[in-house]
Structures are given as structure tokens and as C-alpha cells.
Amino acid sequence: MTRLSSIGDLKELGDLIGERLAELAKKIEVKIHLGSCGIASGARSVQETFLKEAESRKLSNVVITEAACIGPCGREPIVTVIHPKNGRMIYAEVTPERVPTIIERHLIGGEPIPEWTLDLESPTFRLQKIRILHNQDIDPTSVEEYIARDGYQALAKVLTQMRPEEVINEVSRSGLRGRGGAGFPTATKWTFVRQAAGDEKFVICNADEGDPGAYMNRAVLEGNPHSILEGMLIGAYAIGATRGYIYCRAEKPLAIERLDVALRQAAEYGLMGHNILGSDFSFQIELRKGAGAFVCGEETALLASIEGRRGNPRQRPPFPAHKGLFNKPTVLNNVETWSNIPLIILNGAEWFASVGSDKSKGTKTFCLVGKISNPGLIEVPLGTPLGQVVFDIGGGCPGGRQFKAVQIGGPSGGCIPIAHLNTPIDYESVTALGAIMGSGGLIVMDENNCMVDVARFFLQFTKDESCGKCTPCRAGISKMLDILTKISQGKGAMEDLDTLTELAEMVGSASLCGLGQTAPNPVLTTLRHFRDEYEAHIIDKHCPAAVCQALFTTPCQHTCPVELDCSGYIALVKAGKFADAYKLIKQRLPFPMSVGRVCDHPCEVKCRRVQVDEAVSIRDLKRIAAD
């Protein structure tokens, strides 16, 4: 490994690697995708099987490599085969048992197996715009593969062709906004820090990402760590910083492992440290591990944690741009924001702004999770309609269930109902509905989700994660949670809704940091869009989704229009006591024979059996008992 002492050395290395990869392209390449999702699904065993089979068959024209998560997390383990003649095919749900067949038919016979592959022309892939995730298919532990994809060329460009002010101006013209919260303009933040007085300045990457259902940043950390380092190097050059930190929670071991490798490689190649690429610019990055406190995603709490203190937020102003880490001017952006910087510098502001909406430029990564047919990681232009993301890319709710809402922005976000499916996903539109973009988690909910319970769940999370420093957050969230718990138990009163609204507005306006200020969002948005469900819990003592256990006996009986004892007559039919089953049905239903033929069986939608295989055919059993 040779230290690069000039821009020319970087170019020569890139050419050399390009020649080497061109030779590799003449062989059949098998990429095993080893993100956290792939490894958890058994990708390591698939990798071992490929290696053993290739060795035993002496397949000298086959190269087996590693890559990161490329998006379809619900279809892992995933294997990409790049054939010199047949092109690229992506196999999903690969098991060790399928490996010999793939080798025999595709690698040796040259015939792909279409029934095992992903359809890259489907809306799930065709409607995406891949930019941030464009390097997820290379070996994340190889700086050379990153360099072969024009890695560190943006850094070389700013060191040789651009003044710091020009870098900030290019980022400003691109319209890039922070990808970790409310979308503050990135260049504006950089300008504040550059103009701030101070003999030392810092650049920090917030890789904490503690939202339930969000793992976009983790995927980039695992798959494209050098893009983050390069972005931080460019940012440091622009604001005049010489030191930086990446703050990543310790419960992301694979991300930390690959960051460690990337930091070591960058230092060994001379892409970090003193006189980078022969220039006067010097910069060093350290990795700091967080203990997993959600509140440390808030910038002032994160700074306190890096300094070795308890991660408590502090009052702002002064803002970190003027008094940040160790009371020095500090730029703090999240993983996706930093990863965008090299793309903007290399391709230009106009290229970046060519997609997106008027005020929200570029693309955004999202995690589609929850009640969705195609869960995983996606990247779409900002301004893409919510319905297109949920139904065209995500495939809608599985099992034919009805879509109800999307929780966007994690515990700090809000719920967007079906009535607003045409809403473009951008900062202004999402905020207008009472939610926030956040880091990009999209939790899809169907008719079996109770919105009172959803609000209670997220409020319980923020209560547990609150630092407790300020009274509005500490006492206000706890009181709101008590009211929601009472409502979910059927003990609420209508005046509780007014109290809940008043408390939520007080907590949001008076809390010290972003955690408390945004914690009421799930409550306010569910009250705004699903007030009828709250009223059903209070007035009718009824949970429409059959989730709040104090308000129903069994989900099927709860959903039945006549509240028929489904489990009772099912047990009697099972025992062969048809006459007894018929009598039990007639207690609530006078015409079991005819209704058994025309009932639209809503009970089957709530049947717990569907979690195992399929719902019990209750309507058929009713007819059998009558016949």
C-alpha cells in the first residue's frame, strides 16, 4: 500500500485499479450482499457454500466477492451475479440449498433462473433514483474499489481547483438541506461556522440514528463509508477545520467495523492526516461510540457525549455553529448529508438540483417498514408522492389489507392518513401535515393498527429516552402517556382529548431540546386525522382495530357486526357438536344458514391464525353447522 503524495498519484492509482477491474470483468462475478440484514438472514452460510462449490468444481472463471445491502431487505439473502455475456441478475431469498442449482444452471450453463431473481424493471426499482446508494454494490472494505468509482476525486477537485468559499457556494446552489431532521440548509450552517471567530473548528458526523424503523444511515455506513469520510474532508476544507468526529452508537457493530477499516485505509493512503495529497490541508477523523441513548441524536447532547459528559441537551443559543464541541465553532451533519457532498462537488450543483421539488432538492433515502409488501431501503427524488412510495414501490399492504397511515420521522414524526396519499414527500408538505421528515423512516400501518396505541407506543419510547432535564418534557410526556393509557383501557373521558391537546402543545413549545419539542407530534397528528378512533375508545368502549386488549375479548368476535362468539362455535364444530354450534350461533344471529353464504366475513381480517398460515374460514364453518 503506497501513500499518495499528490493528485497525480491518486489518478495513477485509479487508472491502475481500473485496469485490474477490467480484467476481473472478463470473469463471472458473484457478489454476496453482507449488510446487517443479509447476515441476519443467513448470507454468511450462502457465501461459504458458494466458496466451497466453486472450489470443488474448480471454477477458475468465477470470482466471489462481498458487497453491502442494496435495498430489498425483506428478500435477503441476496446474491448478484454479473456474467460477461448475460449481464447482471439479482437472486433473492438465496439459501445454501439453492446455491448448487444457481452454479449449475447460471454460472456453468449460462442460463439464469428467472423465478428466483428480482424484476429490475418493476416499479419497485424503476421508480427509484439511485445516488446515495450507488456504491452499495462494491466491496465496502476496499478503498481501491471506491477510488475506481471516482472516489476522492471530489476531494482532489476542491484541493486543486476551488477556494473554500467556492465550495460553500456550490453546496448552496445545489439546495442541499440537512437529511437528519427539519432540513436546515447545509451551506447556511457551513457559512456560519466559517465566519465564526475561533482558532479551532470541528466537523462532526451524526451517525446515531436511533429512530425505530430507520436504518438508512446504518446501511450507508456499512456499504459506502468512504463517501462519508470524503464528504467530511471537503466540509472541513470549506470551513477551516482540522479535526472531526464520527459519532456512532455501539449497537451498530458492522457499521463501526467498516468505519474502522475505512479510517485506517484513508490514513495509510494519505487521504487523511497531514498534507493530504501533497496539499497544505490537514485533517484527522476520530470515531466515537455512543451508548445508545436516543437523546444523543440531538446535536447538543451528542456534543456533550463526545466531550465525555452525560448526553444532556443544553439551551440554544448559543448554537453549535458558534459554540459547539469544546466551545469551538462546529459543523454537525448526518450520514446522508455528508455522503451527498462528494456527488455535488464532482457532478455540480445543477446535476444535484435536477431532481426534487422547488424547495427540496435531490434524492432521499427511506426505510419502508411495517405493513408493507416490499420492505427495505429505497431512494427517491424529494417530492415523490407518498402513495407512489407506498403502493408502486412498496407494493401496498400485504394480504389485501387496507392501508391506514404512514408514520414518518420516527418518534418525533407524525402519522399521515390515507386521505393525504397524494402529498409530495418534501420538507414543507410533510411539516404542513404535522409531521417531520426526520432521518427517513416510513412505518406503514394497515387497518389492524390502532392509532391510539400507536401514539401511546411512541410516547412511551420518548418518555423512556428523555434525559429528564427539563420539566415540560419530563412531566408533560409522562402525563400525556397516562391519559393515553387510560383511553386505551376504556377509562377515558371526552375532556381528556382537550387536556391531551393542551399538554401536547405545551410540551412542544416549552421543552429544551428537539426530543421534547417533537415528542407530541404522534399524539397531535393522530388526534387531528383519527379523532374518531379516540372517540370510539372513550364513548363506545370499542377499539376498532382490536388492539387495546381491555376493550375486546377476541379480535374476530370484536369485529363481527353481531359480536358472534366465533371461538365458541369453532370449538364446537371441531368437536363435531354441530347442533350445539348451531344453537350458539342463533343466540346472536337468527339466520345462520343464509348469512353463512352472504356474510362478507370481516372477522377473518382480524383472525390471529393468519400470522401462522391463513385465516380460519369462519363463514364456511357457520354454514356447515347450519347445514
Model pLDDT, residue 525: 95
The 10s digit of each residue's pLDDT in 399-458 is 888 999 999 988 888 999 999 999 999 999 999 998 888 888 899 999 999 999 999 999
Model pLDDT, residue 611: 72
- Give how far Cα 459 sits from Cα of 10, 199, 423, Å: 51, 42, 25
What residue has cell string 454537525? 332
Q: Between 67 and 552, name the one with better pLDDT.
A: 67
CA dist 587 and 531 (Å) reads 34
Nearest-CA neighbor of 514 among 319, 249, 250?
Answer: 319
Q: Which residues contact 522 (CB under 8 A, 6 or more apart)?
A: 407, 411, 413, 414, 415, 454, 455, 458, 459
Tell me which DSSP letter residue 388 carries: I
Cα dihedral across residues 614, 617, 618, 619: positive or negative? positive
Give the distance from CA 570 to its chain's centroid.
Answer: 42
Model pLDDT, residue 366: 96
Cα dihedral across residues 528, 532, 537, 539: positive or negative? positive
Q: Between 71 and 589, name the one with better pLDDT.
A: 71
Q: Which residues pair with 285 in a beta bridge?
A: 244
Mean pLDDT throughout 29-57?
97
Give the ranges where 96-224 is alpha helix by DSSP (H): 99-102, 123-126, 143-148, 153-161, 164-174, 186-195, 216-223
Q: Would you place residue 279 in the very low, low, confident or very high pLDDT band (cuts 50, 70, 90)?
A: very high
Model pLDDT, residue 1: 58
The 10s digit of each residue's pLDDT in 217-273 is 999 999 999 999 999 999 999 999 999 999 999 999 999 999 999 999 999 999 999
Residue 168 has pLDDT above 70, yes or no: yes
What residue has cell string 501513500? 3
DSSP string, 475-507: HHHHHHHHHHHHHHTT---THHHHHHHHHHHHH
> With the CA atoms of 419, 420, 422 and 428 taken in that order, what torsion angle do they form, in degrees rounded to the nearest 10?
170
Model pLDDT, residue 625: 79
The 10s digit of each residue's pLDDT in 503-561 is 999 999 999 998 999 999 999 999 999 999 999 999 999 999 889 988 887 777 777 77
Tell me which DSSP letter residue 296 carries: G
Give the ranges where 375-450 is alpha helix by DSSP (H): 386-387, 427-432
Q: What are phi and psi of 490, to 5 degrees?
A: 80, 20
CA dist 465 and 327 (Å) reads 26
| Integer-rounded Cα radius of gyration of the chain | 28
Are 577 and 584 a contacting pair, CB within 8 Å?
no
Nearest-CA neighbor of 144 among 245, 261, 30, 283?
Answer: 261
- Give how far Cα 186 sits from Cα of 101, 189, 234, 248, 435, Å: 50, 5, 13, 21, 21
Are 301 and 313 a contacting pair, CB within 8 Å?
yes
Q: Which residues pair with 332 in a beta bridge?
A: 204
Are 282 and 276 a contacting pair, CB within 8 Å?
yes
Give the ranges where 325-448 is alpha helix by DSSP (H): 335-347, 349-353, 386-387, 427-432
The 10s digit of each residue's pLDDT in 580-624 is 877 887 787 787 777 767 777 777 777 777 777 777 887 787 788
Q: Would you place residue 575 in the very low, low, confident or very high pLDDT band (cuts 50, 70, 90)?
A: confident
The whole-model pTM stands at: 0.92
